[in-house]
Amino acid sequence: MGVGHSSVSLSLDPISIAAFTAKPKPKTSCFFNTHCKKSVFPTKKNSLFVGFSLKFESLKCGKVAGEMDTEKGIDVANKSILDFHGIDERLIRKMEFDALVWSSLHGLVVGDRNFQRSGQVPGVGMVHAPIALLPMSFPKSHWKQACELAPIFNELIDRVSLDGKFLQDSLSRTKKVDAFTSRLLDIHSKMLEMNKKEEIRLALHRADYMLDEKTKLLLQIELNTISSSFPGLGCLVTELHRTLLNEYGEDLGLDSKRIPSNTAVGQFSEALAKAWTEYNNPRAVALVVVQTEERNMYDQHWLCTMLKERHNVRTVRKTLAEIDREGQLLPDGTLLVDGQAIAVIYFRAGYAPTDYPSESEWRARLLMEQSSAIKCPSISYHLAGSKKIQQELAKPNMLERFLENKEDIVKLRKCFAGLWSLDDLDIIRKAIDKPELFVMKPQREGGGNNIYGNDVKETLLQLQKEGSEEDAAYILMQRIFPTVSPTILMRDGICHKEHAISELGIYSAYLSLGNQSRVLDSTNNLKCFSSRYTKKIYRFHFLSLLLAIWNNRSSHS
Amino acid sequence: MGVGHSSVSLSLDPISIAAFTAKPKPKTSCFFNTHCKKSVFPTKKNSLFVGFSLKFESLKCGKVAGEMDTEKGIDVANKSILDFHGIDERLIRKMEFDALVWSSLHGLVVGDRNFQRSGQVPGVGMVHAPIALLPMSFPKSHWKQACELAPIFNELIDRVSLDGKFLQDSLSRTKKVDAFTSRLLDIHSKMLEMNKKEEIRLALHRADYMLDEKTKLLLQIELNTISSSFPGLGCLVTELHRTLLNEYGEDLGLDSKRIPSNTAVGQFSEALAKAWTEYNNPRAVALVVVQTEERNMYDQHWLCTMLKERHNVRTVRKTLAEIDREGQLLPDGTLLVDGQAIAVIYFRAGYAPTDYPSESEWRARLLMEQSSAIKCPSISYHLAGSKKIQQELAKPNMLERFLENKEDIVKLRKCFAGLWSLDDLDIIRKAIDKPELFVMKPQREGGGNNIYGNDVKETLLQLQKEGSEEDAAYILMQRIFPTVSPTILMRDGICHKEHAISELGIYSAYLSLGNQSRVLDSTNNLKCFSSRYTKKIYRFHFLSLLLAIWNNRSSHS
């Protein structure tokens, strides 16, 4: 492999929280523009456009099928947190202007969907990223809980990734009905047959949580093991909020010091750089696998810029099709792309079926997997992050298969929402009876494909009637009801007062250097992390830009 | 005036070079887009679109009437400086990509003319600023000469501004034929009648020069005393070029260390902050007078952001019409705008006739002039920067009227190009005979209105025929022929190989605190400035973004 294996193990988790957000997987989420009904970021063509976490609903309009009932939440919210809708209009105008200027000068931008080349060429058709004007309150205890979970989850995923049989068995039914998962499993099988080992494993994760209003439980929505987006722009949103509170905090009664640091992009770049160093080829570069159109490119550019400026690691950006055309595997396992040796492969594409329009893209994925380059993520990590595996791990005694530490297991289990496969007849009956308490999730990656409300009932009845194996393509999840808060969202230079529910995203990195040294001293890292913040009070957390990605269907229909 | 006058005098000049540029007055310059024939920045509707310094000409196309003969220059250029057109295409593609990404992340942006709200709302319709991909070579000695001239010119302008009679007399003929100058003079007269004194005088200047190819003389094109643009974006271009040369300098044989620092925006903000401090009202703000549409707003936002972040001085942006509506003069001279006391007025509008579409705008200008707020510039400074005054000062023995130091006078005179009024019959005859050696410039501010080539002859003959006083609206200037260099220009995400001639712009600030302490220790400041740079070798200067503002008529017609 041309790689020296160090006996040092290293963990960078948890890096930082970075997203307290309304979308669990924004890279494939669909949300609407006020002016034209196109999604900002690339999305699956067959998306249902009804995300389980599209929780923005105006009080003025009626409920939309598939949207959650927010009235109750709003009442609670108005009592418990600051009412941003009560802020003086003049003050809002000032903050709005400052936020727009700040975003423009500091690269908090995305490609504008109304501009043709904005997803292909940097520097043209830019617009400020959709953002929440102000950070949202979040309990410090739950934030700390989420931070503490990060290294445990990372270790869990790493161990699961090493258990090829578990992955194949757990996904065997899904394989039959989901072509995409099936192709991923085929590559995974090939690697098992080849006895291919990934001795250096790099993970850049984002774990998404919601805080359930009634039970006050922090519940995990999902753990993104591939293409965790917004480490770059998320950090900028933190800075923007800090800047605004430094200026207007007194008028608002908000203290900028209560916004915790967000160093996700810096630490992601550090993790990538450490992996690059471990690969031990000074001439090799990092390969960023990108989509052909990417309006969220600046989030990626921030990470690559930091990788270059802080660590002097160069990156090349290639689509899967380009990698198929230009890629070459040397006998020693070295991956060359366009003649350039690749040390690390960072996927910002390849997580969705639409990323593989032809056999070319699958060939590229296989080629990379066969190589000695460090994959972020490997095919095993990719599969370990799937919803079906999440549901399998929630089964009784399953965590014990992978982890020894009893306390860790208790901590993980505490954040598991109810998760069931569709062969659980009891739960099917309950879901048909009370569909509003459940979310039906397709197995594959990417948000925006979930089924809610009465559609859950109808889909379940339809599946029962058909009696096919199609049910294996879905899992059922307990529906979480987080607090609804009055929020000021900005998009396309325009402020909108909305009610929003939010998700907390915790970024973390994990680098494993060989099997022997796999068990990491994550507790230590955790302490370091925590101590960085102990001097501060955390009533106010930040809302990442993701909060601003709202569904106008719910507010304007 | 509510202002305490300190006995301390202070000079900040020269701040830094910031523009080695193709356009002497870009804020009103007209240049074309490849795709649509609209100007990027607001421009006068009656512009001729033939700038005397629009020097970009493709070798492939023939000469255009009114454009300079570049063939000769190109031959010289190819021998004496690096041929950027010979750079490997792959390397250009890499640099192009990096430049676009860097510009987007670091706020090197302007409003896109193709996007409707881009001149009104920040954060929408942004595009990277048009830039030259690489910095241009410039002789260190001439750069130093230009830096040394800055404090002398600043002192000259300050003294001229205090001689109300000189200004009125010199412009008396112009007044009859130029309505705009006439209105400015009316305000100036009123101030003289009121015996209004500007005891704190703040200047933020940009002096533009060209280096004449044949004579190797550095000749001044003009001195901008109002609305000197691009201190913000110009600094970013320096940083961009440094970043590119850090990465690719070795491949190119260029050393990033040879790019001198550009701190124009930082020092402009410092000068504004010092003026604000002198005004001595902690609750007062700085007023930025802006145009209703401003696609170059981010250049201004950078300055205001620095003023806020480094000096905690807040700014408000108002158009002249808004100032007329919301402005109020208190008996003590305090200017209130929208109820807010104004310490410093920074004009980024008001220099062009089109900025005054109605009486409302003129009322606003008068109101501001009457106030105790520190004007940048005052009406006297504005007039002192006019072309007619430039031409008057070039007359024999005129500099001696304002300056005592003989060496300073020699230095200034050395950089004067030939300048004549149209009552000089000898020179009229010469210009009709050899129009290619002259440029005819209208009196009023703003580039893009100059007359070249055969048009000079025809206009002069027409004026002679009419026998009116219209000739007072123009001056004649010696035509300068600078080196033509192969350049890579970028606009709208697209690279263009062009031949360009450039202008060097030196930014400087000047703050005078009362009459007694007017004579400044500029030599000292100059030494400080020079010593900052003496350790470096200056073969490579930077080309500001202005270089990229080229006229496609000359290259594509």
- Does B301 contact A493 at a Cβ distance shorter than 8 Å? no
Mean of pLDDT values over B147-156 = 91
Q: How many angstroms separate the CA of residue B97 from the nearest CA in chain A? A: 7
For the stretch B174-227, pLDDT in tens is: 999 899 999 999 999 999 999 999 989 999 998 888 889 889 999 998 899 999
CA distance B295 to chain A (A): 13
Asked whether residue A95 carries a pLDDT value surpassing 70, the answer given is: yes
The pLDDT value recorded for residue B82 is: 66
**pLDDT for res A421:** 86
Q: Which of A124, A128, A304 sits opposite B123 (nearest CB)?
A: A128
The reported pLDDT for the residue numbered B14 is: 35
Q: How many CB pairs under 8 A join A and B?
A: 92
The nearest CA of chain A is from the CA of B124 a distance in Å of 5
B237 touches B131 (CB < 8 A): yes
Of the residues B34, B124, B246, the best mutation for testing chain A's interface (the one with the most A CB atoms within 10 Å of its CB) is B124
Residues of A in contact with B493 (CB under 8 A): 117, 121-124
Which helix (H) or strand (E) is B494 found in, with range? Answer: strand B494-500
Residue B123 to residue A121, Cβ atoms within 8 A: no
- Those residues whose C-beta lies under 8 Å from the C-beta of residue B552, and which sit 6 or more positions away, are B31, B32, B33, B34
> What is the sign of the dihedral through the CA atoms of B291, B292, B298 and B304?
positive
Q: How far is CA B146 from CA A30, B149, B152, B483, B508, in A?
A: 56, 5, 10, 17, 11
Flag if A127 and B128 touch (Cβ within 8 Å). no
Q: Which residue type is seen at A484?
A: V
Contact partners, residue B28, CB within 8 Å, separation at least 6: B41, B42, B43, B44, B47, B351, B352, B445, B446, B447, B448
Q: Please tell me what DSSP assigns to residue B416.
A: B
In this prediction, residue B275 carries a pLDDT of 93
- Residue closest to B545 by CA, chosen among B189, B136, B55, B146: B136
Q: What percent of chain A has pLDDT over 90?
A: 50
CA–CA min distance A59, chain B (Å): 28
Chain B residues lying within 8 Å of A106, measured CB to CB: 107
**Residue B505 pLDDT > 90, yes or no?**
no
pLDDT (tens digit, 9 = 90+) per residue, A203-237?
999 888 888 988 999 999 889 999 998 889 988 99
State how far residue A96 is from chain B, nearest Cα, in angstroms. 10
Do the Cβ atoms of A101 and B492 come within 8 Å? no
- pLDDT given for residue B147 in this prediction: 87
The reported pLDDT for the residue numbered A527 is 22
In A, minimum Cα distance to B126 occurs at A126
DSSP B6-31: PS--EE----EEEEEES-S-GGG---
Give the model's pLDDT for residue A283. 97
The domain covering B424-479 belongs, at the CATH homologous superfamily level, to Glutathione synthase lid domain (3.30.1490.50)
Residue A473 three-state SS: helix
Return the closest-CA partner of residue B75 out of B213, B216, B211.
Answer: B213
Identity of residue A449 = N
Residue B54, both tokens: 């629009």
The secondary structure of residue A35, as a DSSP letter, is: S
Q: Does the distance separating the beta carbons of B104 and A123 come in below 8 Å?
A: yes
Q: Do A123 and B105 touch (CB under 8 A)?
A: no
Examine residue A377 and say whether the peptide bond preceding it is cis (omega within 30 degrees of 0). yes
Helix, strand, coil percentages in chain B from 3-state DSSP, rounded to 5: 45, 20, 40
The percent of residues above 90 in pLDDT, for chain B, comes to: 50
Lowest mean pLDDT among A65-79, A92-106, A360-374: A65-79
DSSP B234-299: HHHHHHHHHHHHHHHHHHHT--GGGSPP--HHHHHHHHHHHHHHHHT-TT-EEEEE--SS-TTHHH
Write the pLDDT tens digit of every residue in A393-413: 999 999 999 999 999 999 999
Cβ(B150)–Cβ(B508) below 8 Å: yes
Which residue in the block uniquely carries the two structure tokens 């229909």? A557
Would you state the pLDDT for residue B91? 95
- The DSSP secondary structure of B313-380, one letter per residue, reads --EEEE-HHHHHHHEEE-TTS-EEETTEEEEEEEESS-SSGGG-SSHHHHHHHHHHHHSSSEEES-HH
3-state secondary structure of A160: helix
Q: How far apart are the first and last CA of chain A?
A: 56
Contact residues on chain A for B302, CB-CB shorter than 8 A: 105
Q: Are A435 and A477 in contact (CB under 8 A)?
A: no
* Ranges A126-140, A311-325, B527-541: which has the least confidence: B527-541
Q: Which residues pair with B195 in a beta bridge?
A: none
Q: What is the model's pLDDT at position A516?
A: 40
Query: Across the interface, which of A117, A127, A301 has its CB nearest the CB of B126?
Result: A127
pLDDT score recorded for residue B399: 97
- A103 and B109 within 8 Å at the Cβ level: the answer is no
Say whether the peptide bond before residue A442 is cis (omega within 30 degrees of 0): no
Between strands A419-421 and A474-478, the pairing is: antiparallel
| CB spacing of B493 vs A126 below 8 angstroms | no
10 Å Cβ neighbour count for A557? 14
pLDDT greater than 80 at residue A287: yes
Comparing B319 with A11, the larger pLDDT belongs to B319
Query: 3-state DSSP: chain A helix, strand, coil percent, rounded to 5?
Result: 45, 20, 40
- Residue B419 phi/psi, 5° resolution? -135, 130
Distance CA A192, CA A345 (A): 20
Chain B interface test: which of A33, A96, A102, A104 (most B C-beta within 10 Å): A104
pLDDT at B47 over 70: no
Average pLDDT, chain B: 78
CB-nearest partner of B127 from A106, A107, A126: A126
What mean pLDDT is reported for chain A? 78
Asked whether residue A522 carries a pLDDT value surpassing 90, the answer given is no
Chain B interface residues facing chain A, Cβ-Cβ under 8 Å? 97, 99-107, 109, 112, 115, 117, 121-128, 247, 298, 301-302, 304-305, 308, 492-493
Query: Residue B149 has what pLDDT?
Result: 92
The answer to whether the Cβ–Cβ distance between B126 and A121 falls below 8 Å is no
The pair of three-digit structure tokens given for residue B236, joined into one six-digit string: 């970013």
Identify residue B383 by its one-letter amino acid code. Answer: L
Q: Which of B277, B207, B253, B270 is nearest to B17 (CA)?
A: B207
Q: Which residue has the higher pLDDT, B523 or A289?
A: A289
Residues of A near B (CB-CB distance < 8 A)?
Answer: 97, 99-107, 109, 112, 115, 117, 121-128, 247, 298, 301-302, 304-305, 308, 492-493
CB B530 within 8 A of CB B26: no
Strand-pair partners of A512: A201
Residues 6+ apart with CB under 8 A from B152: B403, B408, B411, B412, B522
Who wins on pLDDT, B172 or A147?
A: B172
Backbone angles phi and psi of B301, in degrees to 5: -60, -35
Residues of A in contact with B305 (CB under 8 A): 101-102, 105
Chain-centroid distance, C-alpha B35: 27
Q: Which residues of B touch A121 (CB under 8 A)?
A: 100, 493
ipTM confidence: 0.81
Helix locations, B81-127, DSSP H: 89-105
- Helices B140-162 and B406-414: crossing angle in degrees, nearest 10, is 110
Average pLDDT of A297-319?
97
A474 confidence band (pLDDT: 50, 70, 90):
confident
Q: Which residue has the tokens 């940097």?
A: A122
Instruction: With a cut of 80, say whether residue A134 has pLDDT above it.
Output: yes
Q: Give the pLDDT confidence score for residue B170 in this predicted structure.
A: 96
**Tens-place pLDDT, residues A161-171:** 999 999 999 99
More confident residue, A546 or B375: B375
Contact B167, B160 (CB under 8 A): yes
Residue of chain A whose Cα is closest to the Cα of B298: A105
Asked whether residue A52 carries a pLDDT value surpassing 80, the answer given is no
Chain A residue nearest residue B94, CA to CA: A316
The predicted pLDDT at position A76 comes to: 34
Residues of chain A with CATH 3.30.1490.50: 424-479
Using the predicted structure, report yes or no on whether residue A546 has a pLDDT greater than 80.
no
How far, in Å, CA of B455 to CA of B463, rounded?
Answer: 12
β-bridge partners, B286: B315, B344
Backbone angles phi, psi at A31, to 5 degrees: -150, 160
Closest CA to A132 of A490, A554, A496: A490
Would you state the pLDDT for residue A531?
20
pLDDT of residue B470: 76
Distant-in-sequence, close-in-space partners of A418: CB < 8 Å, separation ≥ 6: A394, A476, A477, A478
Question: What is the reported pLDDT for A260?
Answer: 79
| pLDDT for res A41 | 30
Q: Which of B100, B126, B305 shows the shortest C-beta gap to A109?
A: B126
Shortest CB distance from A127 goes to which of B124, B128, B302? B124
Q: Tally helices (H) and strands (E) across chain A.
A: 19, 19
B551 in Cβ contact with B48 (< 8 Å):
no
Whether pLDDT at A45 is above 60? no
pTM equals 0.82
pLDDT for residue A132: 87
Residue B445's pLDDT is what?
A: 56
Q: What are the tokens at A553?
A: 């269907």
**Residue that wins the pLDDT comparison between A73 and A32:** A73
Average pLDDT estimate for B330-351:
97
All residues of chain A having their beta carbon less than 8 Å from the beta carbon of residue B105 are 107, 298, 301-302, 305
DSSP for A525-550 reads: HHHHHHHTTTTS--SB----GGGG--
Distance from CA of A452 to the nearest CA of B (A): 35
pLDDT in tens, A236-262: 998 999 999 999 988 988 888 888 778
The yes-or-no verdict on residue B30 having pLDDT over 50 is no
Q: Which residue of B has its CA nearest to A112?
A: B125
DSSP per residue, A195-259: T----EEEEEEEEEEEEBTTT--EEEEEEE-S----HHHHHHHHHHHHHHHHHHHHHHT--GGGS
Residue in B504, B538, B540 with CA at minimum distance from that of residue B150: B504
Question: Is it the case that residue B545 has pLDDT exceeding 80?
Answer: no
Looking at the complex, report in whole angstroms how far the Cα of residue A238 sits from the nearest Cα belonging to chain B: 16
Cβ atoms A359, A367 nearer than 8 A? no
**Phi, psi at A246, each rounded to 5°:** -60, -35
A399 Cα distance to chain centroid:
22
Whether A122 and B493 lie within 8 Å, measured CB to CB: yes
In Å, how far is A498's CA from the nearest CA of chain B? 21
Task: Establish whether the linkage from the previous residue to B130 is cis, with ω within 30° of 0.
Answer: no
Dig out the tokens for A111 from the structure. 């490609």
Of the two residues B55 and A461, the one the predictor is more confident about is A461
Q: Which of B112, B123, B247 sits opposite A493 (nearest CB)?
A: B123
Residue of chain A minimizing CA distance to B127:
A124
